[in-house]
Structure 1
Amino acid sequence: MARLKLKEHVINRDWCKGCGICVDFCPKQVLELDSKEKVIAARPEDCICCKLCELRCPDLAIEVLTDRDDKND
């Protein structure tokens, strides 16, 4: 299985309540809370596209887009 390649992290800052669940679940410490207690992708180059942040966010505020997302396989 080919490794997914990150296109971008789509973060809805209006929906993010700053709970930090996505930060805690990220195995590569890609995500951080900023000075406004909202999540940011501080190190996107380290993302392995596991999508744990997307799956665990209780507010659906983060989406991990990969190179495979725009293909109709």
Structure 2
Amino acid sequence: MTSKEKGERVHVFEAWCKKCGICVAFCPTRALTSDKDGLPVLTSPDKCTLCGMCELRCPDFAIAVKAREKKEPRENK
């Protein structure tokens, strides 16, 4: 199953990533971990809240978080 089929939430630009681990360290839900080579991997996509901390803290702009989908407004009853 590809990341697109899984509903990719976080994209890592491997060519830009220097494998420093900052994005992994700042993930508040621990959804992001490092693989054996140090590359960040979203190992628990169900835990990812799309907060953007990994993207915000990456010094090389090597990680991008998919934008949240806007929820429909609630109806007042």
Look at both structures and tell me which one has the larger radius of gyration over its CA atoms.
2
Contact 1:30–1:43 under 8 Å retained in 2: yes
Alignment-derived partner of residue 34 in structure 1: 35
Question: Distance between the aligned counterparts of 2:8 and 2:67, measured in 1?
Answer: 5
Kindly indicate whether residue 15 of structure 2 is the aligned counterpart of residue 14 of structure 1.
yes
Distance 1:16 1:45 in 2: 23
SS of alignment partner, residue 53 of structure 1: helix
Match of 2:44 in 1: 43
> Quick one: percent identity of the two aligned structures?
41
**What residue in structure 1 maps to residue 73 of structure 2?**
none
Structure 1: which 4+ aligned runs deviate by more than 3 Å?
Answer: none
Contact 1:7 1:67 in 2 (8 A): no
User: What is the CA deviation profile of residues 6-52 of structure 1, one whole-angstrom value per residue up to 9, with x for unaligned ones?
Assistant: 85211111111111111111000011111111111111110111100
Q: Which moved more, 1:59-68 or 1:17-26?
A: 59-68
Q: CA RMSD in A?
A: 1.8
Q: Greater relative contact order: 1 or 2 (C-alpha under 8 angstroms, separation 6 or more)?
A: 1
The answer to which structure has the higher strand fraction is: 1
Structure 2 stretches of 5 or more lacking a match?
A: 1-6, 71-77
8 Å CA contact retained: 2:50, 2:68: no
Q: Which has the higher helix share?
A: 1
Structure 1: segments with no counterpart, 5+ residues: 1-5
8 Å CA contact retained: 1:22, 1:56:
yes
